[in-house]
Structure 1
Amino acid sequence: MYFNSIALTTALLAGSSMAEIIWDGRFTDKSAAEIDKWSWNNQVGAYQYYIHGAGATTDYINISPDYANPADISSSDGARITVDGTSSWNGQSMMRTELIPSTKAAINKGKKYYHFSLRRGADNAPDATAEHQIGFFESHFTELKYGVDGSNGKLQWMTDGKAQFDMDFEANVWHNVAYGIDFDASTVEFYHSTGGDKLVSKAGPMKASVSSNGADWHVGVLKFSKTKEDWFFSSVYIEDGELTTSISGPSGGAAPIKASSTSAVPSKAPVTTSSSSAAVVKTTSSQVAPTSVTAVSSSSSAAPTTLQTMTKSTSVKSSVSSTSAAVAAPSETDDAGCTVEYVYV
C-alpha cells in the first residue's frame, strides 16, 4: 500500500500537541547534587543557585520524591525550599531562597508559558502576617504573593503590584500555576488548578509592564519575616507554543523515555541529561535511579545572569498599593573574578 509521506506527516503533526518545553526545571534525583555544585565557574544543571543564606545547601534546598506533586507522573521529584532567619542574602533584611533558570533558550521572547506547582505543609507553615513574594520576576510584573495586608490568608496572583486573583491556601493542597506571558504584546494571563485537575484560565490576558532579561524568574520565596518556613515546588518548566493544561506536561501524561547514561554523582543518583527538540514531538532522556523513578531535567549552561534584584513590598487593604524600600547596594568579586554591584529597589 502506498502512503503519501507528506500527508502522513501532516496528519501526525495535526494530532500532536504543538507545545514544546524550551526549559525543563522539573526536579530529578540528580538535582540536589547539581544545585550543590553550582557556581559561576561551574554552571551545571537546570538552575542557577546564588540567592540563599550562608548555610549548607541542604539548609535551604532538599530534593525528594515526597516533595513532588503526585498527579504529575512526568516528574519524579520535587523541591522543599526552606526560608528562615539565616536566609539573608548579601546582608538584605528580607529572607530569600531562590533558584533561577539556567538556559540560553529564548524564554523571554514571544508567547511563553511558565509552569510550576506549589504547596505548603502544616509544619513550618508560612507566616500569614508577613509578605511573601513567590515565583516572581525582578520587575514584579507577575508573581504570587502571600501574607499581604488585607489578603485574609489568601494566596494572590499579582500584576504590577495589583491583586488580580485570590486562592485559598490550605495545607497540603497543590496549586498548579501557569503564567501566560506575551513578551511582544506586554500581556499576562493566569491559569490555575489544584491537585491533579487540568489548568483553567482564571484571569487575563491583561496589560502589564512585561520585562525580563531571560535570567530573572525566581523559583522560590522572598519574605519579610525570620520564621522558619517550608515551601514545596514541583512540575517547573517553560513552554512554547500552545498551553499544556495537563499537570504532567505536553507528553500528555506519558512517562519520560528512559536512556542510559555513563556518568554519575558519587553517593547520589546517576547524572542524566535532556535534549531540546525543535520538532513538535519532544524527546527527553532520563535514567532509572536506585529505589526511585526519574524524570527529565535540562542541564544547559547559561551566561552569568544579572545579579540586580528588585523587591517591592505591597500593602493591600480595600485596594492594592505598592511601596518599595531602598536597600544598600554592596559589591563583591564573583567566582569568575568580576566585580559585581547589586542594586536593590
Structure 2
Amino acid sequence: MMFTAQVSSTVLLAASAVSAGTVLWDGRFNDYASSADLDKWSFSNPVGEYQYYIHGKGETAEYVNLSADFKNPGDSASKQGVKISLTDTAFWNGDAMRRTELIPQTKAAINKGKVYYHFSMKRSETNAPSVNREHQIAFFESHFTEMKAGWISGAQGDSDPALRWFADSKSQWDTPWEAGVWHNVAYEIDFDASTVGFWHSTGSDALKQTVAPVKASTSSNGADWHLGVLELARSGFTDANEDIFFSGVYIESGDLTTAIGSGSAAGSADTPPPAAKPVASSSAVIAPAPTTLATSTKAPSTTSAPSATSTKAPSTTLATSIEAPSTSVAAQPTLSATTTAARPTATRKCRKRKARTVQQVAA
C-alpha cells in the first residue's frame, strides 16, 4: 500500500510538472511546413498563428526560416525552431532601422489578467548580432517589457556584449550573451496589477524566478507583441547579416509551467482569429544603459540561470512607427473611412519625427 501511494504521488507530481497552466496561444511553429506558410496570412485572410508584415522587401526565406536544427534541444514540445534574420534589405516601410518581427494572430485573452509569455532564444558565432547597435527583442509596442542586446544610446564605450531584460524602461537583469547558449524566458505579466516579473533558465533547466514582479505600465491590445528583432541604426557602423534563434514560443494563463518542453497545446483556449488590425501607435524605444555597463557577477552557465543584477538609468526616447503599409490598411473592413483617410498624413509626420530623432541619436 505504501509503495502504491508513493507511485501515485510521483505520477501526480510528474503530471503537474508537464503542464501547469492553460495555453492561450501556441506559437511553436508545429503546424508550419516552412516559413513560406507565413505568406498565406494577410489582413484580409488572417490564417495561421502569426501576423507577418514587418519585414523587408525580399522573399520570406531571406528573413524567416524554420528547422528542427533551430530549436532548443531540450524543448520536446517543439518540432522546430525559427531563425529570424536581419539582412541588407531588412528595412520595413521606409524605416531607417532594420527589423524582422512576427505578431501573434489570435483573439485569445493574451492581454488580460495574469499571463506568461514563454520563449527561448540564442545566438550563434555566425551572423552574431552586433555589439555596437541596440537590438530590441521580443517586445511590446509600448516597450513596457523586452529583451535588449548591444550598445544602447548614452552608454560609455562603443559596445556592450550583454543580453538584458528591461521593464519600465530600466535594465532589471543582464548576463553576457554567449554563442550557443539557449536562454529560456517567461515574462510574468499581470495586466490588472500593472506588474512584470522575469523567469529564466538556460539549456533544459526549469525556469526560476530571477526578478520578482516590478511595476510597469502594462499595455497591449492583444496584437502588439513582437517576436523577432528591431535594430536601431547607428552612424559609423555598417550593416551585416545577423541571426537570432527562437524556440518554445507560447502564452499561458493559470499556473506557470516551469519545465522546458512542456506547455502542451492540449489545453489551448484559443479560438479562430478575427480580421486583424495593424499596430498603429508610436512609442519610446530606447532606454539608455547605466553609466557603467553592468555584467553578471557570475559566469553564465549552460545548465543554470545566471545571477540577477539590476541596472537602472534615466530614459530617452526615439519614436518608431509600427503602422502597417497603407495597402494592408486599405484591406481592413473594420477601419472607418475617416481613420483610413487620415492615416497618410499621420504617417508622414511620424516619419519626419523619426528621421529627426534618429539623426539626433546618430549624432
TM-score, normalising length from structure 1? 0.78
Which shifted more, 101-110 or 310-319?
A: 310-319
User: Any gaps of 5 or more consecutive residues in structure 2?
Assistant: 1-10, 234-238, 292-311, 333-339, 355-363
Task: Tell me which residue corresponds to 2:280.
Answer: 308
Q: Distance in 1 between matches of 2:35 and 2:160?
A: 35
Matched, 1:205 2:213: yes
Match of 1:230 among 238, 243, 249: 243
Q: Distance in 2 between matches of 1:20 and 1:316?
A: 36
> Structure 1's 26 and 192: CA in aligned 2 closer, same or farther, altered over 3 A?
same
Matched, 1:332 2:326: yes
> Structure 1's 145 and 30: CA in aligned 2 closer, same or farther, altered over 3 A?
same
Q: Distance in 1 between matches of 2:324 and 2:191?
A: 31
The amino acid of 2:327's aligned partner reads: T
Checking the alignment, whether the CA contact within 8 Å between 2:65 and 2:82 is kept in structure 1 is yes
SS at the partner of 2:196? strand
Match of 1:127 among 124, 127, 130: 130
Match of 1:35 among 33, 38, 59: 38
Checking the alignment, whether the CA contact within 8 Å between 1:117 and 1:236 is kept in structure 2 is yes
The amino acid of 1:205's aligned partner reads: P
Task: Tell me which residue corresponds to 2:171.
Answer: 163
Checking the alignment, whether the CA contact within 8 Å between 1:46 and 1:300 is kept in structure 2 is no
> Structure 1's 327 and 18: CA in aligned 2 closer, same or farther, altered over 3 A?
closer
The amino acid of 1:206's aligned partner reads: V
Checking the alignment, whether the CA contact within 8 Å between 1:87 and 1:96 is kept in structure 2 is yes
Task: Tell me which residue corresponds to 1:287.
Answer: none
Give the structure with the higher percent helix. 2
Give the 5 Å matches for 1:61-100: 61-100=64-103
Task: Tell me which residue corresponds to 1:20.
Answer: 22
Give the ranges of 4+ consecutive aligned residues of structure 1 lying more than 6 Å apart after TM superposition: 11-15, 328-331
Match of 1:323 among 316, 321, 330: 316
TM-score, normalising length from structure 2? 0.74
Checking the alignment, whether the CA contact within 8 Å between 1:54 and 1:86 is kept in structure 2 is yes
CA displacement, residues 75-126 of structure 1 (integer Å, 9 cap, x when unaligned) = 0100000012311111111110000000010000000000000000101111
Task: Tell me which residue corresponds to 1:246.
Answer: 259
Task: Tell me which residue corresponds to 1:60.
Answer: 63
> Structure 1's 302 and 204: CA in aligned 2 closer, same or farther, altered over 3 A?
farther
Aligned residues: 294
Which shifted more, 93-102 or 220-229?
A: 220-229
CA RMSD, aligned part only? 2.6
CA displacement, residues 188-212 of structure 1 (integer Å, 9 cap, x when unaligned) = 0000011111101110211111110
Q: Distance in 2 between matches of 1:74 and 1:193?
A: 17
Checking the alignment, whether the CA contact within 8 Å between 1:40 and 1:336 is kept in structure 2 is no
Match of 2:148 among 145, 168, 186: 145
Checking the alignment, whether the CA contact within 8 Å between 1:160 and 1:209 is kept in structure 2 is yes
CA displacement, residues 298-323 of structure 1 (integer Å, 9 cap, x when unaligned) = 89424323322535122213252322
CA displacement, residues 130-167 of structure 1 (integer Å, 9 cap, x when unaligned) = 00000000111100001123583110000121000012
Checking the alignment, whether the CA contact within 8 Å between 2:107 and 2:271 is kept in structure 1 is no
Checking the alignment, whether the CA contact within 8 Å between 1:46 and 1:299 is kept in structure 2 is no
Q: Distance in 2 between matches of 1:88 and 1:146?
A: 19
The amino acid of 2:84's aligned partner reads: I
SS at the partner of 2:210? strand
User: Any gaps of 5 or more consecutive residues in structure 1?
Assistant: 1-10, 252-273, 279-297
Q: Calculate percent identity across the aligned residue pairs.
A: 51
Task: Tell me which residue corresponds to 2:5.
Answer: none
> Structure 1's 163 and 15: CA in aligned 2 closer, same or farther, altered over 3 A?
same
Match of 2:192 among 172, 184, 189: 184
The amino acid of 1:64's aligned partner reads: S
Q: Distance in 1 between matches of 2:187 and 2:268?
A: 22
Checking the alignment, whether the CA contact within 8 Å between 1:98 and 1:219 is kept in structure 2 is yes
The amino acid of 1:69's aligned partner reads: N
> Structure 1's 158 and 337: CA in aligned 2 closer, same or farther, altered over 3 A?
same
Q: Distance in 1 between matches of 2:61 and 2:325?
A: 26
Q: Distance in 2 between matches of 1:275 and 1:42?
A: 25
SS at the partner of 2:38? helix
Q: Distance in 2 between matches of 1:311 and 1:56?
A: 30
